[in-house]
Chains A and B, each alone.
Chain A
């Protein structure tokens, strides 16, 4: 499974802002979330490497070491995102090359609606830079986060138009 999902999407040209890795967690099979995030992030001017669903932590680490992404976006909706997220961030942060790489997680991370505050704090103290739980304003706050990344300062080729 790799970056190129759609022959007809705008993945082909290099956009200049760097690479974002999009990935599911080890137990999560959902992919519509990943496809959506890939398209959205490409529209912001990044190249996306989409690792697909059910990604073991070792594979995620290896891919990140290879691609040296500007950002890693973890998405999970099956309700195990909190548990799987804690496992994977330990492995990511254990790699000396990925200590400072921005890594965020989002989606439906628990099975009972939104996580309690303690749980999302734990994700942050375990090493995630931000947590985006599914809600009406999730995507907008993600845009804000993206706009604050160092890579966002790179000017874009004129063709990219962002639509929400």
Chain B
């Protein structure tokens, strides 16, 4: 944490607006770094937050929730806690409110807001816990927390997320600004063409705004090629500026969310490249990944190292990408805009429009097994490493995407595409990027 901002007293009663905080610290070449950190043991969770706060970077804290809490199986979480079996995240619904208050006590303050990250299509209990704890920042969305996260019907997710947005905005009457981040920029983690990620991120931000949220952020997950990613984030910014009814929004970059490199140099260079993507596009916040990503839940120390590495990578002088121009009319922008507009035109209620869009295949996520996804679109990585549409199914992109020959999918072909980024970064010579001033 930087010490150069005036500190206000600890604000457990009225936490700061997460969005406002990030916008004041990140952007214009600097980033707010954030871990994906969650432990079931409250002591360890508290230590993790302290270490994040103390890291040599501008940081915000995270409570990442475990899979049982995500799917609403609080009984299984309870069994694990009683039997001393560690979970893959923090079970916020099972731990008593006082326990979580203790975890946050004296750590969460105006200089260190904390966000809850989950991944639930049935998040009513999670939102109830957050509201009880004055935890006013989280992420998700009716589409992005449904299709990649299990078998809850999309219709139920849309209804649940509408209710949760309404519950969350009740914080406004207590003088607390709730913040929601879209997870739409990360459908399936990998192999989803950027225009679809941008479109779903924008649509979910609009969904939040329509439900009364005034402080939002839009995500974009790093994909296979830096130039394409820069184009995508510019498209995301342009569409948000055009369509969002609030100025209180920012962009968050997720460090690669697919099969991660296995070598330390590969992991670090990939993370560094995510930070550079943020700098090149003026993105305000970066969620980091650690050297343990390909294997297991990372330790606190590995998380701190990743936060600091991301921070240091923003100081690397790379003028060729720093000078990125406004790519206002790029292919990615046109595709994303066509998708967004086609969905908005389907129904005046955005929740209904999203349901219709998936039914009609206007939105269709490659390789997504969810029954409400049409499953007729395909992607591939081209010779330059750009992620392209192989098949568009019923996507309203026929006029923008050239027809290609469809490829038969084999297990080894799929694994080749999935491990493209891993291979590229693991193979690269382990030259450490020179850190400039």
Contact = CB atoms under 8 A, between A and B. Distances in A.
Interface string A100-114: 000000001011110
Contacts, number: 107
A139 to B, nearest CB: 9
A53 B151 CA distance: 7
Determine the main DSSP class of A at the interface with B. Answer: loop
Interface stretch (A5-13, A91-99, A149-157): A5-13
Contacts of A8: 406, 408-409
A151 to B, nearest CB: 19
Interface residues of B, number: 41
**Residue from B85, B375, B414 with most neighbouring chain A CB atoms (10 Å):** B414
B76 A26 contact: yes
A80 B67 contact: yes
Interface residues of A, number: 38
B149 interface: yes
A26 B73 contact: yes
B150 interface: yes
Given A29-B148, A79-B88, A1 B371 contact: yes
B415 interface: yes
B404 interface: no
A55 B411 CA distance: 23
A50 B369 CA distance: 10
A43 B85 contact: no
B293 to A, nearest CB: 11
A1 to B, nearest CB: 6
A85 interface: no
Given A1-B369, A55-B151, A111-B297, 20 more contacts: A1-B370, A1-B371, A8-B409, A9-B408, A29-B70, A29-B71, A29-B150, A31-B148, A31-B368, A39-B410, A50-B369, A53-B150, A53-B369, A78-B67, A83-B80, A84-B76, A108-B295, A112-B297, A163-B411, A163-B412
5 contacts: A29-B149, A31-B188, A39-B409, A79-B297, A112-B297
